[in-house]
Amino acid sequence: MDVRVVPTKTHALLDYTTAPALAAVPTLLRLEPGTLAALGPRAAGVGGTVMGALSNHELAVRRVIPMRAHLLAEGVGGVILAAAPWLDRSARKGTRYWLPHALVGLSDVALALTTKLRPQSRRERLKGFLAAAPRPVTVAVPAVLLLALGGVALSRRRGGDGPPADQAPRDEGGLPQVVEGGEV
């Protein structure tokens, strides 16, 4: 059984939302500056943002870091983040000093273990979309598109049903002339 079920695109979205929030946690929770409980989330947030932008996934700015290395670093970082409040004994100061670290750290480890190792190609994404779509949709959508494109092509070939809007007769004010039965 393959446990790597999280697509790299979903992982990237989670990284891009979690990392900046993680960097803001010490300020939001008013953690004592200079402790590992305050420095750990900031370092993980900044590092996660940079690493996410440079990793091999669909939302990367530049694909430099292989996904396997990204996941390894995220798993190790998650363990360190979860342990940080206990390493400098700031966990004794209250729940706000250790609970966010433990939750985010453990979720980082879980995400690192369950994320796929390579991003989907465009062909694989399209194949997955078509496979997941109900059968009438997979037949009806291409058929409607073909009919619409065919109708446009026939209309152009025959010259359409009158002059194009930019060539319609206009009055002195530049507005299309209106005749009995509608617009010309």
Q: Give pLDDT, residue 34.
A: 87
Task: Evaluate the CA torsion angle 140, 122, 1, 104 in order and state its sign.
Answer: negative
Residues 114 and 3 sit within 8 Å (Cβ to Cβ): yes
Would the pLDDT of 121 be above 90?
A: no
Residue with the larger pLDDT of the pair 31 and 177: 31
pLDDT at 161: 54
User: What's residue 141's pLDDT?
Assistant: 60
Using pLDDT thresholds of 50, 70 and 90, give the confidence band for residue 9: very high
Cα 87 to Cα 80, 83, 145, 183, distances in angstroms: 9, 6, 62, 79
pLDDT, tens only, 126-182: 777 666 666 555 555 666 666 666 655 555 555 555 555 556 666 776 666 666 655
pTM score above 0.85: no
Residue 32 has pLDDT above 80, yes or no: yes
Please name the amino acid found at residue 136: P
Return the CA Rg of the chain. Answer: 28
**The pLDDT of residue 13 is above 80:** yes
Would you state the pLDDT for residue 23?
Answer: 92
Q: Would you kindly state where each structural domain of the chain is located, as residue ranges?
A: 8-120, 123-151
When comparing pLDDT for 142 and 100, which is higher? 100
pLDDT of residue 146: 62
